């Protein structure tokens, strides 16, 4: 309960302190992403011109007999574009995603410090940390493999269990399926900070998973409470958007009053974005503080300073 109280108190504190900076970092990230996407499109067009590929051939992708019509040149173009796209994603991780996450981890770390969010963001971009992007990809694949296997087995057991005629077998499969899904949720809660640890401490993939498990040991209730709170807050701020969007799409497309209300609902949600961002990154630092206090032999969570 004490952890959750600290989390709530600090969520408002950090939102108030860095409210404008959060919008600034989001805007910068979006601009960089947009510019990089435009560059990707230009590269694709230039490559097509150099290779002499007729871009109208893309319309054939709607045909069920598509491969019969594609020339070897166009197939090569598609392969090269896939490679370029993968490189683009990798660079996005290095120069946008990594600095973005690193910035919000840093600014939600110490309640007594006033950090320059933009300086952290640009300094992290200048690192050109390609190795951490590779580790982020590897960690993503590993976590997807772990959760996919556990959830997949659980869901398959439930599906086959429902279809099974034998009562005993059905019950056993359903039990195994439910246990599998619950186990998957539990592991998800234990490992949900692995990516932040990887970015924050520049650890190895396996080490980040182990550290997340250590950090959340005995704190699953807190992590679950944080997730529920985050979901509720996000839902509350999105309710006006859903309501006005539904009404707008049904009977009020040309009603200026509902257009204004829809815009107001969107702005209402937009105003809450800095708080929602803080809610995503703050729990990691709250648990870090608690872990540091435990190691120092103190149970107090008021000393929110990591140095």
| pLDDT 10s digits, 205-242 | 999 999 999 999 999 999 999 999 999 998 888 776 66
| pLDDT 10s digits, 37-88 | 999 999 999 998 888 776 665 555 554 454 555 567 777 888 999 999 999 9
Residue 178 structure tokens: 């439910």
- pLDDT score at 306: 37
- Could you tell me which of 194, 200, 224 has the C-alpha nearest to residue 306? 200
- pLDDT score at 49: 87
Neighbour tally for 257: CB within 10 Å: 8
Q: What is the pTM of this model?
A: 0.83
- pLDDT score at 277: 95
* Alpha carbon distance 194, 146 (integer Å): 13
| pLDDT 10s digits, 186-211 | 999 999 999 999 999 999 999 999 99
157 within 8 A of 181, measured Cβ to Cβ:
no
> What is the number of helices (H) and of strands (E) in the chain?
11, 0
Round the average pLDDT of the chain to a whole number and report it.
Answer: 85
Which range of 1-15, 31-45, 289-303 scores highest in mean pLDDT? It is 31-45
Helix axes 220-250, 167-191, angle to 10 degrees: 100
């Amino acid at each position: 309960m004490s952890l959750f109280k600290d989390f709530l108190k600090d969520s408002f504190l950090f939102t108030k302190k860095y409210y404008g900076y959060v919008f600034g970092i989001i805007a910068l990230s979006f601009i960089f992403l947009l510019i990089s996407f435009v560059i990707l499109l230009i590269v694709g067009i230039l490559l097509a011109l150099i290779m002499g590929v007729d871009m109208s051939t893309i319309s054939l992708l709607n045909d069920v007999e598509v491969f019969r019509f594609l020339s070897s040149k166009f197939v090569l173009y598609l392969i090269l574009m896939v490679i370029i796209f993968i490189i683009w994603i990798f660079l996005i991780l290095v120069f946008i995603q990594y600095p973005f996450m690193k910035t919000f981890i840093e600014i939600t770390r110490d309640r007594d410090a006033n950090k320059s969010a933009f300086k952290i963001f640009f300094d992290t971009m200048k690192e050109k940390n390609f190795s951490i992007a590779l580790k982020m990809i590897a960690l993503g694949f590993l976590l997807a493999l772990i959760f996919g296997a556990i959830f997949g087995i659980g869901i398959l057991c439930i599906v086959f269990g429902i279809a099974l005629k034998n009562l005993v077998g059905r019950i056993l499969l359903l039990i195994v399926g439910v246990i599998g899904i619950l186990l998957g949720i539990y592991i998800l809660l234990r490992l949900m900070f692995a990516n932040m640890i990887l970015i924050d401490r520049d650890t190895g993939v396996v080490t980040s998973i182990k550290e997340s498990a250590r950090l959340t040991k005995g704190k699953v209730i807190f992590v679950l409470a944080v997730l529920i709170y985050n979901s509720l807050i996000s839902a509350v701020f999105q309710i006006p958007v859903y309501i006005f969007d539904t009404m707008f799409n049904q009977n009020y497309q040309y009603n200026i009053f509902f257009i204004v209300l829809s815009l107001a609902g969107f702005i209402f949600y937009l105003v809450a974005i800095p708080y929602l961002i803080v809610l995503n990154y703050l729990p990691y630092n709250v648990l870090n503080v608690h872990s540091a206090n435990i190691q120092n032999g103190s149970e107090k969570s008021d000393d929110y300073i990591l140095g």
